[in-house]
């Protein structure tokens, strides 16, 4: 069975603090994909990053960084020097590719509030 756990339901930080959002996944597939999406208060889902299961390189994009560790089945997301605009719900997702289409399994999301 596939499962994604985001144990942190809500996080509040003061602006300019660093914050890490945790994501733990379960799958028996050897090939899978991991994603992070951002859902700002306006409601749309914004794609942030995609990772293949065979690519464990960490990635940095501006103030965002992602730490993928297969040994612990985790794909954590860190925001450095947080800003008010980072306030949103963040979803981690696991994607697998059966014969037809891609199936995504989402975590329940972490609501981040950045306090000015």
Partner 1 sequence: DAGITQSPRHKVTETGTPVTLRCHQTENHRYMYWYRQDPGHGLRLIHYSYGVKDTDKGEVSDGYSVSRSKTEDFLLTLESATSSQTSVYFCAISERTIPSDTQYFGPGTRLTVL
Three-state DSSP class for residue 11: strand
- What does the per-residue mask of binding to partner 1 show for 15-54, with x meaning CB under 8 A? ------------------x-x-x-----xxx-x--x-x--
Structure-token pair, residue 31: 């090939």
Q: Which part of the chain contacts partner 1 (CB under 8 A), choosing from 19-27, 67-75, 79-87, 94-102?
A: 94-102
Select the residue interacting with partner 1 from 17, 108, 113, 115 (CB under 8 A). Answer: 108
Are 109 and 39 in contact, with CB atoms under 8 Å apart?
yes
The total of other beta-carbon atoms located within 10 Å of residue 66's CB is 20
- Whose Cβ is closer to partner 1: residue 80's or residue 96's? 96
Report CA 77 to chain centroid distance, whole Å. 6
In this structure, what DSSP letter does residue 86 have? G
Catalog residues that contact partner 1 under the rule CB under 8 A. Answer: 4, 6, 33, 35, 37, 43-45, 47, 50, 52, 91, 93, 95, 97, 100-104, 106-109
């Amino acid at each position: 069975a596939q499962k994604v756990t985001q144990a942190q339901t809500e996080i509040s930080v003061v602006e300019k603090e660093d914050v890490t959002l945790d994501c733990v996944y379960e799958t028996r597939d050897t090939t899978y994909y991991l994603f992070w999406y951002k859902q700002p208060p306006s409601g749309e889902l914004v794609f942030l990053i995609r990772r293949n299961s065979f690519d464990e390189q960490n990635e940095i994009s501006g103030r965002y960084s992602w730490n993928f560790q297969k040994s612990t089945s985790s794909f954590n997301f860190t925001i450095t020097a947080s800003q008010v605009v980072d306030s949103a719900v963040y979803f981690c997702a696991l994607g697998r590719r059966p014969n037809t289409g891609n199936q995504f399994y989402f975590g329940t999301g972490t609501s981040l509030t950045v306090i000015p």
